[in-house]
Amino acid sequence: MTTDTSPGGRGVGKRRGRRQGTRPHGHDDGPEDGGTRTRPPRRTVAERFEAGELTVEDATEKAREALLRILTAAPKSRAELEQTLARKGYPEAVVAPVLDRFGEVGLVDDTSYAEMLVRTRHAERGLSRRAIAMELRRRGIDEDTAGEALEQIDGDDEREAAMALARKHVARTRGLERDVRLRRAVGSLGRKGYPPGISFGAVRDALAEEGEDELDGDFPGAED
């Protein structure tokens, strides 16, 4: 029986190809570990600006677009926006005029922002004035602006919010010993920023509403 052969005498089904591990002449797949190459890090806007690759107008437009994206997601203070763009590599000389303009048209307003934070943190999270004041400082709100915003909460508001929190925490510990319920609830209010006196008074009243015995007034830190 004769074997069919293709022109050149090679048998059918046998193909000549590159041996495993070889590359065509002049072809470079990169490093031996799979052909991946390390890309150089992207340069910041400041670096491109200093190198003359971006004009002032180009850098300003990029800063404006970046700020609009941030503010579309959530309101921010001016200080927060400055910090965010600084981390992204925008030069201060470009960012400051854009933020000034945003302030003129009301897109950046620390007063309104602080007032909103005070309302939501107190009403939705039950935070005390002290806890909210700390958050305002972290967000770069100046002391005068923060003080005016915190005037929305008075002593009665704090006691009412503390009482609501105390009732909630006391309800979660029904069936436990009184001292355990007391410590857990007072600790929870403390983490919300309430001083010991307000915390203890609110928890004592919440437990009394459930029929618990009157608590001693010598609980550590019961007095402000």
pLDDT level of residue 59 (50, 70, 90 thresholds): confident
145-155: per-residue pLDDT in tens? 999 999 999 99
What does the DSSP 8-state code read for residue 55?
-
| φ/ψ (deg, to 5) at 194 | -80, 140
C-alpha dihedral (20, 22, 27, 33), degrees to nearest 10: 70
Domain ranges for the chain: 45-104, 110-150, 155-209
d(CA 92, CA 95): 5
Between 220 and 47, whose confidence is greater? Answer: 47
List, in order, residues 6 or more apart from 38 with CB less than 8 Å away.
none
Whether residue 221 is predicted with pLDDT greater than 90 in this model: the reply is no
d(CA 160, CA 154): 10
pLDDT > 90: what percent of the chain? 64
The token pair that represents 117 in the structure block = 């934070």
Domain 110-150 architecture? Orthogonal Bundle (1.10)
- What is the structure's pLDDT at 89? 87
Q: Which residues of 198-210 are buried (b: 16+ CB within 10 A; e: fewer)?
A: bbbbbbbbbbeee
Bridge partners of residue 11, in order along the sequence: 5
List, in order, residues 6 or more apart from 6 with CB less than 8 Å away.
12
d(CA 184, CA 173): 8
Distances (CA, A) of 108 to 103, 140, 156: 5, 13, 32
Helix and strand totals (H; E) in the chain: 10, 0
184-210: per-residue pLDDT in tens? 999 999 999 999 999 999 999 999 998
What one-letter code names the amino acid at 198?
Answer: I
List, in order, residues 6 or more apart from 81 with CB less than 8 Å away.
67, 70, 71, 95, 99, 108
List, in order, residues 6 or more apart from 220 with CB less than 8 Å away.
196
The token pair that represents 41 in the structure block = 């890090």
**167 by DSSP, 3-state: which?**
helix
Between 31 and 69, whose confidence is greater? Answer: 69
68-96: per-residue pLDDT in tens? 999 999 999 999 999 999 998 898 999 99
Between 212 and 150, whose confidence is greater? Answer: 150
d(CA 183, CA 203): 9
